[in-house]
Structure 1
Amino acid sequence: MGEEIFIVFIVFGSLVAMLGLVLHYSTKWKAMKGLSAEDEQTLEDLRGEAEKMERRLDSLERILDDEVPDWRSRRHDPL
């Protein structure tokens, strides 16, 4: 009789522990779904830098169009 109670206790304890782990990590995953304030700021900084680089590239292309009109049609041979 003692072994049967021990087996039931082990099975019940294992089920409760697994359920607890699943519930614990499901709430952690839900909390981590969104971006943190630091991540949002980093993303905004990167977007600003990308826009600056795009403006610089546009300026360089305009300069090249004025200086070397056919620069876009030239092929560059790889090294």
Structure 2
Amino acid sequence: MEEVIIIPMVVIGLPWLILHYVTKWKTAATITTDDEALLEDLYSLAKRLDERMDTVERLVASDNADFKPARIQHDKEVDNVPLRELEELIAEKRGERA
């Protein structure tokens, strides 16, 4: 009697379950070109704001010798590595579109 239940479950149920989740995975939301453009715009805005903060910190530091910036300085190599990696990814993506 158990074979009557187990065999259909293995033959029908398991492939159905696998195909169901494969279909769900394929129809899952992906990033669109509009989303990519928005992310690039936000990245460039964040980069400009970061440069402005660096400028403000330099100006304040030049006026006040006791001022120690809390942020990592823009000219430190460790701070620039993630930015360079992101810029390389953006350049590669733009190269793919061209």
Q: TM-score, normalised by structure 1?
A: 0.55
Percent same amino acid among aligned pairs? 33
Paired residue for 1:67? 63
Quick one: distance in 2 between partners of 1:50 and 1:26?
Answer: 37
* Aligned-residue RMSD, C-alpha: 3.1
- Equivalent position amino acid for 1:28 in 2: K
1:19 maps to which of 2, 11, 15: 15
Paired residue for 1:39? 35
Higher relative contact order (CA 8 A, sep 6+): 2
- Aligned-pair distance for 1:58? 1.0
Secondary structure of 1:69 counterpart: coil
Aligned residues: 67
- Equivalent position amino acid for 1:44 in 2: E
Paired residue for 2:46? 50
Structure number with greater Rg is: 1
Quick one: distance in 2 between partners of 1:38 and 1:24?
Answer: 29
Q: TM-score, normalised by structure 2?
A: 0.48
